[in-house]
Structure 1
Amino acid sequence: MLLSSIVCLTLTISAIVMILASFLAKKTIADREKNSPYECGFDPKNSARLPFSLRFFLIAVIFMIFDVEITLILPIAYILEITNIFSWSLVGTLFIMILLFGLYYEWKEGALEWA
């Protein structure tokens, strides 16, 4: 009984805070200058859609892949204490070898060359 009343009170207070925040956060003054894009005080002359660098995109994708893979590698050190060391060592070594092969392939293909 006490738990359900605490949950109801918490939900009610949260709803009231969210409703108040939505009313107080709205900007009522909207004019042309505030709704236009800001570029160092000048009006934009060209389209905001500029050609996108494919090299930058490839480097960003490679960075994201290695970033995710690091999050997969880090728990291996913790899991080694709990489980079979041989199986996790084999899986970890295979995973790192695949990563190194992919890095070598990207380096050989020139995807890491910026210029």
Structure 2
Amino acid sequence: MFSVSNPEHYIPILLFLLVAIGFGAVSITVGRLIRPKNPYKEKDSPYECGVPPINDARERISVRYYVIAMLFLVFDVEVVFLYPWAVDFNRLGLFGLVEMMIFIFVLLVGYVYAWRKGALEWE
């Protein structure tokens, strides 16, 4: 029976914790000792696909960017539901076909709604 009052039950946990902390500390220390130390201006500057940075990296991004990203994720994740349906199409029969047509119709309505609202325009 396990009892909380016996400290010998906590020895494996303590050893595991010490090994984990020691491994991290040793890895960082060894890396700091053996890496080359020759900083220069080009090395310390941010890298943006080979193009020198023009302005501050903390500039404001349009909300449209996030809306388009969220719409992409919503439609992409919902399309993933088509794969299991296609795998079990023979077993599901007409009932599965009707349900999937309703699902695709709802996706199509959402897509048309987003299109008409201008959420897919990038200007």
TM range (shorter): 0.5 to 0.7
Q: Which runs of 5+ in 1 are unaligned?
A: 1-21
* Residue from 72, 92, 107 that aligns with 1:99: 107
Query: With structure 1 as the length reference, what TM-score do the two structures score?
Result: 0.61
Alignment length (residue pairs): 92
Q: Residues 60, 41 of structure 1: CA spacing in aligned structure 2 closer, same or farther, 3 A cutoff?
A: closer
Gaps of 5+ in 2: 1-26
- Larger Cα-atom Rg: 2
- Of all paired residues, the percent bearing the same amino acid is 37
Name 1:28's counterpart in structure 2. Answer: 35
Q: Partners of 1:76 and 1:28 in 2: how far apart?
A: 53
Q: How high is the TM-score relative to the length of structure 2?
A: 0.58
- Residues 109 and 41 of structure 1: CA distance in aligned 2, closer, same or farther (over 3 Å): closer
Change (3 A) 1:54 1:110: same
Distance 1:77 1:41 in 2: 45
Of the three residues 59, 77, 80, the one matched with 2:89 is 80
Structure 1 counterpart of 2:56: 47
Of 74, 77, 82, 1:68 maps to 77
CA positional deviation for 1:68: 1.4
- Offset of 1:47 from its aligned partner? 2.4
Deviation at 1:45, TM superposition (A): 7.0
Moved more, 100-109 or 67-76: 67-76
Q: 2:67 aligns with which of 36, 58, 61?
A: 58
Once the two structures are TM-superposed, the CA of residue 104 in structure 1 deviates from its matched residue by 1.4
